Amino acid sequence: MSETLRSDLGFDYIYIEDQNAFDDLILQYSQSDILSIDTEFVRTRTYYAKLGLLQMYDGQTLALIDPLKCEDLSGLWALLENENIIKLLHAGSEDLDIFAHYGQVEPKRLFDTQFAASICGFDHGLGYGRLVEQCLDVSLDKGESRTDWLKRPLSQKQLDYAANDVFYLYRLFPLLKQKLIELERFEWVFEEGQLQASGRADEIDFDNAYLKVKNAFQLTPKQLALLKPLASWRLKTAVKKDVAIGFILKDHILIALAKAWPKSLKDFGKVREMSNLERGRYGKQVLSCFQQADFENLPERIDAIAYRDDYKASFKLIKKELTLVAEHNQLPLEQLASKKMVHEYLGWFWKQPETLPKILTAWRGRLTNESLSKIEI
């Protein structure tokens, strides 16, 4: 079953809630050269986002697909991996997470219009509405951005909002493409898309969950040995229950527990960050985690290179050189080399692991290799 609707801005789209209609649509889209794609989802207390709507447009047929009714999305996953089709997204990180979770796919030939805009003269991190307004002189209503996309039926206003997100995305592409070709940067967007998508469909790394705990860099190696099984348990519990990890135990509680190292339920009284309810619910599990701590093979301090005496001076030197490269190429420094990337580069420089840092790969590497190779730190 599909229904044709007309948006408040004057274009038609179809609403699909039938598996056969969806399969026919995918067959049509598989012959396309370009597809604009967006998702609407809800993610409040869950670990994984709950997919509420899929929007797609090939320049001819704009479709809103109800994934609550069309449960077999295998055709879409195959479409995303088709290297003959350019997929347009805007700031697509969360969309990529959805594709990785539901379809275990990493899209090929991905064109992120936010990134594309940032390397051809627009502001860094420009939102979709602002970009549409600046390029197409159209003002979009963003009033439905916080709607409940799992609730049915969806209103006409909600559907119009969702349709706008792919209709104008498709129209942005030729304008951005022209600018990028003039600057000889068109292929950069696909290289960046590959970097953005890479690794998202990998299995969850439970053993290294402690590395993502906020402020874990404060802990000593012995404290990290306690944090490691604790963070792994929390992540496994969150995934199993499909609950956001913060609703198990928040990061600052994990840090406090690793510092205090309670050895019995009575010892939890000195961990003020942990409520009585949390102690009763998770106290035994925390103690069990601490019993698994491996003190014979202590983890290295997180961000250990930041404790080097020459770190700040080296960071400043690298950033200064990269700022010159960014200015010479008229690029936002944040896009060429964020603070995280500079930190990653220094870690690679001092430790020389096999995997190259992001700054030295793809389009960034072609801009920075020569300059960085001349710096002595």
Q: Are 229 and 32 in contact (CB under 8 A)?
A: no
Residues with Cβ < 8 Å from 151, sequence gap 6 or more?
Answer: none
User: CA–CA separation, 123 vs 119, rounded Å?
Assistant: 9
Residues that are catalytic: 38, 40, 95, 161, 165
Q: Are 73 and 67 in contact (CB under 8 A)?
A: yes
Select from 93, 92, 13 the least CA-distant residue to 56.
13
One-character DSSP codes across 203-253:
PP-STTGGGGSTTGGGS-HHHHHHHHHHHHHHHHHHHHHT--GGGT--HHH
Amino acid 151 reads K
SS3 347: helix
* Beta-bridge partners for 112: 89
SS3 2: strand
Q: How many CB atoms lie within 10 A of CB 289?
A: 21
| DSSP 8-state code for residue 36 | E
Q: Which residue has the tokens 């010159």?
A: 324
